[in-house]
Structure 1
Amino acid sequence: MLILLIPRMDLDKQYYSISEVAKLFKVNTSKLRYWEAQFPHLLPKRTGTGIRKYTPVDIEKIKVLVDMIDVKGLTIEGAKQALNNKGAVKNPNQAVINQLTDIRDFLQVLSQELE
């Protein structure tokens, strides 16, 4: 089991650049941009010239995504489902558990039909 270790950031700072956030999570800036397009709740502020500025709240959202996708191995769709369940991520593996339960039920029915 992997444990997500994120270094502490200067909590007095209000905004972080995309490169600072990417470095913090050891991901490419393109991944952060992609996640922004896939997860509407992740919407960093932008300057007048379009430069993204991430708040500590945005960083916490990214931390959840990194944990679900990069650590626990959920797909983007699985992470979306987990986030949509009750508006919070109580058990990000629930989407996977539901899929496995459906597969088990299908295999049981198939097995009974083959007997």
Structure 2
Amino acid sequence: MKSDDAFRTIGELAEELGLPQHILRYWETRFPQLRPLQRAGNRRYYRPADVALARRIHRLLNEEGYTIKGVQKLLAEGDAKPAASPPPAPPIALPLAELKRIRQLLVDALADSAA
């Protein structure tokens, strides 16, 4: 894997994000902030800042559920919002008998503290 400071080709970035290359080219038309260097033959080279922005766009669109328009608005506003916190842990499924036992323990504890 390349250093975080290395430039990446569109193929490398697309593979890293798990996206087809045409999606990155489409994002360039929708997000003016995403501007990779273009060399001879229109080869794209993404700078570290471009890579970070592409990762952020990917996260907002594919993990947080934003629309293209929503991400455009966030980026245009400078979005001071920190990265999303991890989703809450799924609830623990316990058998009904265990839940009733726990409830009774709580009832007994409350009764003892009231006495």
Give the structure-2-normalised TM-score. Answer: 0.66
Q: Is this contact kept in 1: 2:5–2:48, CA < 8 A?
A: no
CA contact (8 A) 2:60 2:71 kept: yes
Instruction: Mark the CA change 1:71 to 1:26 in structure 2 (over 3 Å): closer, same or farther.
Output: same
Partner SS for 1:52: strand
Runs of at least 4 residues of structure 1 off by over 3 A? none
| Percent identity of paired positions between Structure 1 and Structure 2 | 29
Please state how far the C-alpha of 1:54 moved relative to its aligned partner: 0.7
Please tell me whether residue 90 in structure 1 is matched to residue 100 in structure 2. no
For residues 52-78 of structure 1, the C-alpha deviation after alignment (integer angstroms, 9 at most, x for no partner) is 011111100001101110111111001
Listed as ranges, the gaps of 5+ residues in structure 1 are 1-7, 94-115
* Aligned residue number for residue 72 of structure 1: 64
Greater strand share, 1 or 2?
2
Count of residue pairs the alignment pairs up: 84
> Which ranges of structure 2 fall in alignment gaps of 5 or more residues?
85-115
Which residue, out of 73, 88, 97, partners 1:81? 73
